[in-house]
Amino acid sequence: MADYANELIGSHPSILGLKRLVEKVAKSPARTVLIYGETGTGKGLVARMIHRLSSRSAKAFVDINCAAIPASLLESELFGHERGAFTGAVERKVGLIEAANHGTVFLDEIREMEMTLQAKLLSLLDTQHFRRVGAVNATTVDSRFIAATNKVLLSEVTAGKFREDLYYRLQVVAVNLPALRERGDDVLTLSQHFIERYNAIYKRSIRGLSDEAADIFRRYKWPGNVRELENLLERIFILEEDDVILPRHLPDRIIRTVVGRAPADVAGPAQGEAAVTGFHEATADFQRKLLTRALTEADGNLQAAATALKISRHALRHQMIKLGLQ
Ligand SMILES: Nc1ncnc2c1ncn2[C@@H]1O[C@H](COP(=O)(O)OP(=O)(O)OP(=O)(O)O)[C@@H](O)[C@H]1O
Ligand SMILES: [Mg+2]
């Protein structure tokens, strides 16, 4: 059976580009990576993929949620401490960073880290040395650090809550995860994937979404992204008995935001809104064609294509990644 929980599902150009980027980053010598994406877009999944596809995969993957550990404990959790470093430090303790030597340290919700600890982290990233709390001598580690955030870090920098130098250090290799609503029909592919998974778990044989339900899924904004989709489908498996998923199985709030009417009125797709989804798809499609043509005419020379398009080479690269043209 496929390793369901570890697979990155989707075939939208942005996801195909993401898969290539993840592979490239995994195999690169980069020691710091930043993953940005709204909640539920797959940051944890991508961090584990980067570890699994890297030469560090046989070593530890240590997952640390900076928001879940009280600030007062985070330093000794990360860096460890010497015996007697503070009241209660009766034994020397090896920190998580040391435990992940030659492996990967995943620092989730990095913006929750306090400024003083951010400074220690930056120094570690720069030198590969750190001191356990209360230690005289430095310890050396060779680990990869993957940081994740669901808020734009730059605004935290502006607000004086995140160190600018650390921000730029992390920003060198950045992986951006698109929101589910920006992935076109991937919402349907993912639905089918989760339906198969829950069919196996709950011993059911749900065939899929009705056309009306699929239409609602395509137009709903999914603020909780893939996790919201996954949880919604599981809820339907638990509560409903039909072998196809229908609009009446969906929570009122979804029907209301999509159709703009009371759930009882749901007959089929509402008119008008489809054009908006179509707009983004169509624009991206046009941009893809334009870039492909410019690149073909420039014989694949990025600088020449960028000049013809009157944008910078950097902007062209960025657009190519975004549109899945590599
Ligand atoms: N492309 C995908 N294919 C398959 N499963 C996915 C995909 N993206 C996300 N998932 C699944 O969705 C759930 C949420 O993903 P994950 O926990 O990685 O999100 P996150 O970005 O870390 O969220 P948060 O910001 O809330 O921590 C997980 O169960 C994950 O396996
Ligand atoms: Mg997460």
Relative to the CA of 6, which ligand 1 atom is closest? 31
Distance 61 CA to ligand 1 centre (A): 17
Rounded to 10°, the helix 186-202/211-219 angle is 120
32-36 vs 144-149, strand pairing mode: parallel
| Distance of CA 144 from the midpoint of ligand 1 (Å) | 21
User: Both 235 and 130 in a single domain?
Assistant: no
Is 110 within a domain?
yes
Task: Supply the pLDDT for residue 3.
Answer: 53
Starting from the CA of residue 49, give the closest ligand. 1
**pTM of the shown model:** 0.79
Q: Which residues contact 76 (CB under 8 A, 6 or more apart)?
A: 85, 86, 89, 93, 95, 133
Identify the pLDDT of residue 265: 42
Whether residue 209 is contained in a domain is answered as yes
41 CA: nearest ligand 1 atom = 21
Low-confidence ranges of the chain (pLDDT < 50): 1-2, 264-276
Is residue 227 within 6 Å of ligand 1 at its C-beta?
yes
Confidence at residue 87, expressed as pLDDT on a 0 to 100 scale: 81
One domain for residues 163 and 259:
no
Note the ligand closest to the C-alpha atom of 42. 1
Half-sphere exposure of 200 (CA within 13 A, CB side): 8
136 and 81, same structural domain? yes
Co-location of 188 and 173 in the same domain:
no
Ligand 1 center to residue 300 CA distance, Å? 35
Instruction: Show which of 178, 211, 238 is a domain's final residue.
Output: 178
Within a domain: residue 270? no
Antiparallel, parallel or unpaired: β 208-209 and 244-245: parallel
The tens digit of pLDDT for each residue in 226-268 reads 999 999 999 999 999 999 999 999 999 899 888 775 554 444 4
The domain boundary residue, chosen from 152, 178, 204? 178
Tokens in use for 243? 């072998």
pLDDT of residue 12: 97
CA of 319 to the centre of ligand 1 (A): 24
Q: Is residue 129 within 8 Å of residue 173, measured between CB atoms?
A: no
CA-proximal residue: ligand 1, atom 23 (nearest): 40
Please state, in angstroms and rounded to a whole number, the distance separating the CA atoms of residues 205 and 210: 14
Residue 153: alpha-carbon gap to chain centroid? 14
259 and 279, same domain (yes or no) = no
Whether residue 165 is found in the same domain as residue 96? yes
Residues 168/126, Cβ–Cβ less than 8 Å = no
CATH of the domain at 24: 3.40.50.300
- 58-95 burial, b if ≥16 CB within 10 A, otherwise e? ebbbbbbebeebeeeebbbbbbbbbeebeeebeeebeb
- Considering only CA atoms, which residue is closest to atom 25 of ligand 1? 39
Closest CA to 34 of 123, 154, 128: 154
Examine the domain organization and report whether 172 and 187 are in the same domain. no
Please give the structure tokens belonging to residue 117. 């600890």
Number of structural domains (the chain) is 3
User: For a substitution probing ligand 1, which of 227, 229, 230 has the most ligand atoms within 8 Å of its CB?
Assistant: 227
Same-domain pairing of 38 and 151: yes
Angle at 18 between CA 17 and CA 19, to 5 degrees: 95
**Cα–ligand 2 centroid distance for 43 (angstroms):** 5
Model pLDDT, residue 127: 95
CATH, residue 196: 1.10.8.60
Q: Are residues 168 and 27 in the same domain?
A: yes
Instruction: Say yes or no: CB of residue 39 within 6 Å of ligand 1.
Output: yes
Q: Is 241 in a helix, a strand, or coil?
A: coil
239 in a domain, yes or no?
A: yes
Residue finishing a domain among 225, 247, 265: 265
Look at residue 138 in the predicted model and tell me its pLDDT.
92
DSSP letter (8 states) at residue 270: P
Pair (43, 111) in one structural domain: yes
Residue range(s) defining the domain that contains residue 140: 4-178
Give the three-state DSSP class for 181: helix
For residue 45 the two structure tokens come to: 């999944």
User: What is the number of the ligand 1 atom nearest to the C-alpha of 47?
Assistant: 18
Residue nearest to atom 16 of ligand 1 (CA): 42
Q: Whose CA is nearest to atom 13 of ligand 1?
A: 227
In a shared domain, residues 60 and 105: yes
pLDDT computed for residue 6 by the predictor: 78
Decide whether any atom of ligand 1 lies within 6 Å of the 298 Cβ.
Answer: no
Asked whether residue 59 is domain-assigned, the answer is: yes
Same domain, 30 and 81: yes
